[in-house]
A and B are shown apart, each in its own frame.
Chain A
Amino acid sequence: MITAFFRTLILYFILMTGLRLMGKRQIGELEPSELVLTLIISDLAAVPMQDFGIPLVNGVFPIVTLLCVSLLLSFFSLKSIRFRGLVCGHPTVIVRDGKVLQENMARNRFTVDELYEQLRSQGYADLQSVKYAILETSGQVSILPYAREAPITPKGAGLNVPDDVTLPVLLINDGRIMAQNLHGSGYDEAWLTGELKKRRLTSPRQVFLLTVDEAGSVVCVTKEGRQ
């Protein structure tokens, strides 16, 4: 068991260091520590599951150890910016004022093809539109265009638009009433029954989806093929 404990710690930190050295583009959407955790835990769980000759604790102890180490890394990352930088890395500017910072690209093993793929996927045809492109610690690229290239917003156009964005709350989910949401939104069953009656429905079971937003606007989708 003690061997498993130390081996787990060593392997975790080796994988973490390896992923950090590989650069951000390998990571995708997970932070390095999360990715390492995902990689190892799935394997650790599978081994004692398949091999009955291996005691369960040989799988459980390393998994619990990893989860605890991960929680501790998160704690220290919250407490120390330097530590966070060490574990998660720092965002890297790869385009500034439309100019590719080749050294930063090379340091993160980020290719021109990948940069252009990211530009195209975010709707930019070339570098002339981009003021900054930042390679985030998660491996995603954030693109900040020049003001002249940015989509027009009401604020940018000097328009005074009323704030009509409201959050819809799910009240019926596949025929089931979400009582907590219903009461939390200030409504009750009687109101819900009334709303159903307005739509010639007799039971929540006939409803696939029903939401209400903060303005009281109700959206109702009935189940397909209902009687």
Chain B
Amino acid sequence: MKVFYLPAGVLALILACSLWAGRFLEMRTEHWTALLAGVSQAAEAEDWSGASRALRQAYEDWDRDQTFLHTILEHDALDEAEQLFAAAMAACRQEDGEEALIQIAQLTVCLEQIAETQGISIRNIF
């Protein structure tokens, strides 16, 4: 029965790892988007030091997971998010409210799309 249990076990493990990675990314994305929502609120209120602080915190949080993210995601998607973080930080530094809100909105969508690629759904599979 080893002939059966070994491949079946490995398959189950791969499935479990894949599901866990999808769920983990979804939770992390919820966390990052919540932080970015705080950045947007601060930018709308023209609290630029608060916005920059919240954005830096979101970026550091995102940066901590980079090793893991690079092992499961295509690097192009991560590079795009990285560029959007940089653009949003620049807009906050320049205290350009409109630009900052646009960049943060794009970044939020980008992060949600990244997480969505790892979710289990018919749309992804086909």
Contacts and interface: CB of A to CB of B under 8 A. Distances in A.
Co-assembled chains A and B? yes
Interface of A: 1-7, 10, 52-58, 61, 64-65, 67-69, 71-72, 74-75, 78
Contact of B6 (A1, A3, A61, A71): A71
Nearest to A68: B7
14 contacts: A1-B22, A10-B125, A53-B76, A55-B73, A61-B17, A61-B18, A65-B14, A68-B7, A68-B11, A71-B7, A72-B8, A72-B11, A75-B3, A75-B7
Q: Which of A52, A67, A72 has the most CB of B within 10 A?
A: A72
A56 B75 CA distance: 11
B116 to A, nearest CB: 10
Interface pairs A-B: 3 shortest CB-CB: A68-B7, A2-B18, A71-B7
A40 B125 CA distance: 18
Given A68-B10, A72-B4, A72-B8, A2 B74 contact: no
Interface residues of B, number: 27
Given A10-B125, A52-B75, A55-B70, A5 B4 contact: no
Contacts of B124: 2-3
A1 B7 contact: no
Contacts of A57: 71-72
B32 to A, nearest CB: 19
Given A55-B70, A57-B71, A57-B72, 12 more contacts: A1-B118, A2-B119, A3-B117, A4-B18, A7-B125, A53-B74, A53-B76, A55-B71, A55-B72, A56-B71, A61-B17, A69-B11
Interface in B60-85: 70-76
B54 interface: no
Contact of B21 (A2, A68, A71): A2
B120 interface: yes
Given A1-B21, A55-B73, A65 B117 contact: no
A71 B5 CA distance: 10
B14 A61 contact: yes
A136 B116 CA distance: 47
Contact of B17 (A1, A56, A68, A71): A1
Contacts of A2: 15, 18-19, 21-22, 118-120, 124
A56 B74 CA distance: 10
Contacts of A7: 125
Contacts of A52: 75
Contacts of B14: 5, 61, 64-65, 68
A3 B124 CA distance: 6
A78 B2 CA distance: 14
